């Protein structure tokens, strides 16, 4: 499984990139708004992310009609070679995904909450599909079970092009564990949760003991 960072925060992206495990970044309008970014700086902001990250960077279209999404998608794709156009899973989004994919522009279909949505995204030409986990948990449903269904269903078929499933709306290291065990290709993880993925209390305890014993060696 590959690790993507689910953020538009440049500091977080720079730090995670320095860890050597970052394979890509996903953004969305909410994550960009959280940076305090303005509309007229959005494209430059995406370019800055693309410069930092050696891997695909999803930038989301906020258009609602096929033609507007296609126009948006072309503009976003022109920003950098590693831009992936993120498009919501809806009728107009499917049509735009088909058109953009045929032009060779990679698409990540987002806001995916069901097996039929995922299969349709793949059929339309999506390079990435993003089933959401945490938002199911938020409404007292089992997001991991939903993700497992999507992974199993998509892996049943050959869509004639590469399709990778991004476990999205990930909230915890346990979500990452479950996504990896079921064979999700990618987990896109918020910075705080990604940091928790490298931490373990037994690692901390073991390190503490090693340091204390090393002090004894130095004083012997």
Which residues are part of the catalytic machinery?
86
Which residue, 103 or 151, has its beta carbon nearer to ligand G3H? 151
Binding interface with ligand G3H (CB under 6 A) = 6, 28, 110, 132, 134-135, 168-169, 188
The four Cα atoms 171, 144, 54, 31 give a dihedral, to 10 degrees, of -40
Residue with tokens 């058109």: 99
Which residue, 71 or 135, has its beta carbon nearer to ligand G3H? 135
Which residue, 54 or 138, has its beta carbon nearer to ligand G3H? 138
Cβ-contact 106, 122 below 8 angstroms: no
- The Cα-based distances of 132 to 17, 122, 180, 214 in angstroms read 24, 16, 15, 46
- Supply the minimum distance, in Å, between the C-beta of residue 54 and ligand G3H: 21
- Supply the minimum distance, in Å, between the C-beta of residue 94 and ligand G3H: 18
Q: Whole-angstrom Cα distance, residue 57 to residue 6?
A: 10
Q: Closest residue to ligand G3H, Cβ-based?
A: 169
- Helix, strand, or coil (residue 138): helix
- Supply the minimum distance, in Å, between the C-beta of residue 107 and ligand G3H: 14
Which residue, 82 or 130, has its beta carbon nearer to ligand G3H? 130
Cβ-contact 58, 128 below 8 angstroms: yes
Q: Which helix (H) or strand (E) holds 121?
A: helix 115-124
- Supply the minimum distance, in Å, between the C-beta of residue 33 and ligand G3H: 12
């Amino acid at each position: 499984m590959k690790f993507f960072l689910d953020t538009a925060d440049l500091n977080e992206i720079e730090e995670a990139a320095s860890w050597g495990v970052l394979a890509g970044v996903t953004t969305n309008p909410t994550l960009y708004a959280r940076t305090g970014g303005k509309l007229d700086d959005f494209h430059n902001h995406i370019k800055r992310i693309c410069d930092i990250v050696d891997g695909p960077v999803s930038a989301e279209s906020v258009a609602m009609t096929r033609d507007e999404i296609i126009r948006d998608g072309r503009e976003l794709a022109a920003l950098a070679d590693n831009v992936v156009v993120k498009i919501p899973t809806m009728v107009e989004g499917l049509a735009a995904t088909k058109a953009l994919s045929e032009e060779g522009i990679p698409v990540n279909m987002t806001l995916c909450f069901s097996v039929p949505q995922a299969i349709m995204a793949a059929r339309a030409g999506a390079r990435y599909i993003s089933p959401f986990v945490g938002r199911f948990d938020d409404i007292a449903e089992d997001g991991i079970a939903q993700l497992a269904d999507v992974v199993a269903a998509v892996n049943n078929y050959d869509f004639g092009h590469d399709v990778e499933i991004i476990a999205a709306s990930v909230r915890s290291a346990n979500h990452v564990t479950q996504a990896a065990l079921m064979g999700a290709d990618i987990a896109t993880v918020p910075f705080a949760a990604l940091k928790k993925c490298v931490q373990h209390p037994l690692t901390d305890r073991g390190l503490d003991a090693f340091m204390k014993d090393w002090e004894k060696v130095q004083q012997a």
